[in-house]
Amino acid sequence: MATAAGTASATSFISATFTTPANSTESFAQNATMVGWMRESGGRGTLTLITTCLLTMFICTWVVIHRRVYRSNSMGQWHKAAIFLKAIVAPEFIAVEGLQEWSQAKKMVAQCAEYRDDEGESMELIHAFYISMLALRYRVGKNTSRVIWPNQYIWLLRNGFIEWRNHAEWGLLRRDIEDKSNTDGFAKATALVQVFWFVAQCIMRSTYDLPLAPLESMAISYIPLFAHDRFQREEFEDLAISSDFDDEGLDRQNSWGNIWALTPRVFEKEYNDARKAERLERQAQPMVSDSKGGFNVTVVSDIAVYKEERVVAHWDPDFYGSWLWPLICLFGASFGALHLISWETHFPTLTELWLWRASAIASIVSLLVFMHYPRVVLKWGGPVTMLSIISPAIYLLSRIIMIAGAIAAFRRADPALYETYVVSDYWIHIL
């Protein structure tokens, strides 16, 4: 870059410009043949492309998984792996479930706001998340501990059995919680750099009219999950504490099938406690005799309603009815919408192209329908309720189709997919 003649002084800054190589997209215009596996020479190859996408997807999913405390540490690790699979197949589920847990923690903080320590400090989000992860316990006998659930802790506070000014004795100091955390600052920084670099690359390719692979579009769709987690999570991860405790026999909540349920464990516990209390209250009512010496069947049928249910999703009523819910629905739909970046991408066949488009749209619509129902239970309740069960099935099917399509697209891809831009340094001179 030449400077203006006669200039006395100038201030220089290092910058970068992106230029397409000599064998740019025009060179491929004359040869529209599709290509398969590309080596790492003169541009980006298939292996580099796949590795970068998979690394970004792994970072955006693995770092958002915050495993709760289980009785068996090995089972907890397997559950984390299963939740990772859930994050890959259904990232929207993880995001919405995380928002519900955040809502529960915020609610707990609000309910405990009146209780303060000697320094005038009340409960914070980090304390609420810590208790919600079932990390707070009390000892029963010599060898057994029991979990203190959030609703139980609030009840103990309100009834004066414990005081917040003594929360340090329960291990609830912020520094104690942070010491038990398995966070890695370097790993978080590395993940953040990788995500920003990947987004920058995709933006620059779009700037130079270079296409993105379907797998790149899919990797971009996981970034909202990473961004949402960095926004709403306190700075601690899996807790490095003893797992020898009694979790009240909640085997179903720790089951493999329940991993796919969109019901935070704490919220479902509180809901079941409320149902149990109502059931006991109904059972305590005396049965009314009719004129023939029988019993009022209405009371019996009311009690029979409280049977075990297979809950697929249960939204927090305070969250579901709030002004935030429409925004949350749009946030959930954004994951599928980002796949539409590859609307004009070349696929091996026209059928695969339209299958990708239809699956992306189906994932958006089915998720919005699914989130419309405040509570979804696996039972027959008429055609309308069946729609609430079918919609998540359609969503999962569309996700699987898009994952398979993104991988299969590499067998015959647009040659421009492997075109790159060159970064060259130059000086900007400001007069």
The continuous run of DSSP H or E covering 383 comes out as helix 383-408
Q: What's at 421, amino acid-wise?
A: Y
Cβ contact 157:115 at 8 Å? yes
Integer distance in angstroms from the first to the last C-alpha of the chain? 14
Helix axes 46-62, 73-89, angle to 10 degrees: 120
Span 178-197, mean pLDDT?
A: 74
**C-alpha span between 151 and 316 (Å, rounded):** 15
* C-alpha torsion 34→35→40→46, nearest 10: 90
For 167-172, the CB contacts below 8 A with 24+ separation are 167/117, 167/123, 167/127, 170/136, 171/136, 172/127, 172/130, 172/136
**C-alpha span between 429 and 213 (Å, rounded):** 37
Q: Residue 280 forms beta bridges with which residues?
A: none
**C-alpha span between 387 and 395 (Å, rounded):** 12
Alpha helices in 145-264 (DSSP H): 150-158, 174-180, 185-207, 214-221, 223-232
Of the candidates 78, 76, 75, the one whose C-alpha atom is nearest the C-alpha of residue 67 is: 76
pLDDT at 281 over 90: no
User: What proportion of the chain, given as a percentage, has pLDDT over 70?
Assistant: 68
Tens digit of pLDDT for each residue in 124-161? Answer: 888 888 888 777 877 776 766 777 888 888 988 999 88
Tens digit of pLDDT for each residue in 349-400? Answer: 999 999 999 999 999 999 999 888 888 887 777 777 788 889 989 999 999 9
Alpha helices in 35-149 (DSSP H): 46-62, 73-89, 91-111, 125-132
3-state secondary structure of 128: helix
120: pLDDT confidence band, cut at 50, 70 and 90?
confident
Cβ contact 354:277 at 8 Å? no
Q: How many CB atoms lie within 10 A of CB 403?
A: 16
240 φ, ψ to 5°?
-90, 80
DSSP state for residue 287 in the 8-state scheme: P
**C-alpha span between 277 and 283 (Å, rounded):** 10
User: What proportion of the chain, given as a percentage, has pLDDT over 90?
Assistant: 13
**C-alpha span between 116 and 158 (Å, rounded):** 12
